[in-house]
């Protein structure tokens, strides 16, 4: 049995596609009325309380999102396979958001909006794409796709990851020892790291101060990557120019948080990428098939690494 704990609309789409392509799998949309012993596969965002005790025969836990930092891995049996979402619909939205953010910053849109509010018609000095270095932290599925989408604009591109990568047209750096060099010439920094013990709070005063004066930051990964007080301090000292946040910690920020009203901060409510069930269903079905054949699963979380 496949238990789907997604919202009604997504469940409906997955039910339709699963029934068509894998009719042998029984599908359930809510926990009530289900024999918990029959549940072998589950799709969820929130990890149900007492999951391991309630569903002793669960074999694969699919997460609706690409990040699994909210799962309590210590409470999950070690034999349970955990799979995060790697689907083209979500990836495409992340590419669009990153491009939107980079172009907004590179073409000074917020400054022109501010001028418009004062009825000021004034052209600001423009920067050539080749003069701008756009750097992506995290060269995973989404980080690499974002770099691919940015390639067409002619920026100098950099990437940073845990282990070394080689990507054509991208200067790649890895590990903490190469982080300062990666940041040193960065004009626009995009965070696409998973949230782990190693990456929590990584965007601190110390790290962000390594960026050249006037750099901007786009955080579209998790709010806890960024030390929010550091952002306010570095914006107010003009070390940072602008910050775009799709994620915050907590979500939403409390009304009194200074980031809400900071004139050089743009906040969106965690909308950079959403799982599109029409395309996610194909990913889930392909993984169920791989599981049955005893193959490695796509997007399987390595619990030791935490992503």
Contact between 199 and ligand NDP per CB under 6 A: yes
Q: Which segments within 107-264 are labelled E, that is strand?
A: 133-137, 156-161, 170-174, 188-191, 215-219, 240-245
| Consecutive H or E run containing 144 | helix 141-150
Helices 141-150 and 88-106 cross at an angle (nearest 10°) of 50
Q: Which is nearer to ligand NDP, 36 or 201 (CB)?
A: 201
Asked whether the beta carbons of 215 and 244 are under 8 A apart, the reply is no
Residue 270 is among the residues annotated as catalytic for this protein: yes
DSSP state of 297: P
Stretch touching ligand NDP by CB under 6 A, among 23-31, 117-125, 158-166, 233-241: 158-166
> Which residue, 25 or 259, has its beta carbon nearer to ligand NDP?
259
- 101 forms part of the interface with ligand NDP (CB under 6 A): no
State yes or no: residue 142 binds ligand NDP (CB under 6 A).
Answer: yes
Residue 222: active-site member: yes
> Can residue 183 be called a binding residue for ligand NDP (CB under 6 A)?
no
**What's the min distance (Å) between Cβ of 131 and ligand NDP?**
27
| Residue 184: partners with Cβ closer than 8 Å, 6 or more residues away | 210, 211, 212
Give me the residue label for tokens 């997955």: 14
The Cα–Cα gap between 162 and 128 comes to 31
Cβ 70 to ligand NDP, closest distance in Å?
Answer: 10
How many residues bind ligand NDP, per CB under 6 A? 30
Site membership for ligand NDP, residue 140 (CB under 6 A): yes
Contacts of 305 (CB under 8 A, 6+ apart): 162, 196
Q: Smallest distance, Å, CB 55 to ligand NDP?
A: 25
One symbol per residue from 61 to 100: x for binding ligand NDP (CB under 6 A), - otherwise; what is it? -----xx----------------------x---x------
- Is the torsion defined by CA of 296, 300, 303, 306 positive or negative? positive
- Give the residues lining the site for ligand NDP (CB under 6 A): 66-67, 90, 94, 138-143, 160-163, 192-196, 198-199, 220-222, 246-247, 270, 272-273, 307
């Amino acid at each position: 049995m496949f238990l789907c704990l997604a919202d009604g609309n997504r469940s409906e789409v997955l039910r339709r596609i699963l029934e068509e392509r894998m009719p042998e799998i029984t599908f359930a949309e809510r926990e009530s009325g289900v024999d918990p012993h029959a549940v072998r596969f589950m799709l969820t965002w929130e990890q149900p309380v007492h999951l391991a005790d309630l569903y002793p025969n669960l074999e694969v836990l699919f997460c609706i999102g690409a990040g699994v930092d909210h799962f309590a891995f210590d409470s999950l049996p070690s034999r349970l396979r955990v799979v995060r979402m790697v689907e083209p619909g979500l990836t495409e939205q992340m590419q669009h958001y990153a491009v939107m953010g980079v172009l907004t910053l590179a073409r000074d849109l917020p400054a022109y909006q501010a001028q418009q509010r004062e009825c000021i018609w004034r052209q600001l000095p423009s920067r050539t794409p080749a003069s701008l270095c756009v750097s992506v932290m995290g060269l995973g599925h989404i980080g690499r796709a974002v770099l691919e989408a940015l390639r067409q604009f002619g920026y100098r591109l950099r990437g940073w990851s845990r282990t070394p990568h080689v990507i054509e047209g991208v200067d790649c750096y890895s590990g903490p020892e190469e982080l300062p060099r990666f940041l040193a010439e960065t004009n626009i920094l995009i965070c696409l790291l998973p949230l782990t013990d190693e990456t929590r709070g990584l965007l601190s005063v110390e790290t962000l101060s390594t960026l050249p004066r006037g750099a901007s930051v786009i955080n579209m990964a998790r709010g806890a990557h960024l030390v929010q007080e550091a952002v306010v301090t570095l914006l107010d000292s003009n070390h940072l120019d602008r910050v775009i946040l799709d994620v915050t910690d907590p979500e939403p920020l409390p009304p009194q948080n200074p980031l809400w009203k900071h004139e050089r901060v743009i906040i969106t409510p965690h909308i950079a990428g959403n799982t599109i069930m029409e395309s996610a269903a194909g990913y889930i079905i392909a993984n169920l098939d791989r599981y049955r054949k005893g193959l490695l699963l796509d997007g399987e979380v390595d619990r030791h690494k935490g992503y």
